[in-house]
């Protein structure tokens, strides 16, 4: 039987994806405003790399 934490996570999974999508779209817009003629593929890769690094740092800080 799944633990309560897993059940709760399943209930909120779509909301987490939606929140992260909004975050990525926010940073894509910032890049668009700050860099004319941006290479969107390159910018997206940089944004995702930085978000992953930030998530890793937050995970390390919270799970100490």
The predicted-structure confidence for 42-58, as pLDDT tens digits, reads as follows 999 999 999 999 999 99
The pTM score is 0.81
Number of domains forming the structure of the chain:
1
Backbone angles phi, psi at 46, to 5 degrees: -65, -40
Query: Which residue bears the tokens 């929140």?
Result: 19
Note down the domain range covering 58: 4-62
What b/e sequence results for 12-38 when a residue is b if at least 16 CB atoms lie within 10 Å of its CB, and e otherwise? Answer: eeeeeeeeeeeeeeebeeebeeeeeee
The predicted-structure confidence for 27-42, as pLDDT tens digits, reads as follows 999 988 888 889 999 9
């Amino acid at each position: 039987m799944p633990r309560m934490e897993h059940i709760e996570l399943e209930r909120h999974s779509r909301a987490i994806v939606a929140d992260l999508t909004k975050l990525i779209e926010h940073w894509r817009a910032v890049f668009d405003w700050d860099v004319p003629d941006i290479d969107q593929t390159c910018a997206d890769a940089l944004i995702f790399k930085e978000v992953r690094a930030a998530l890793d740092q937050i995970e390390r800080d919270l799970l100490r």
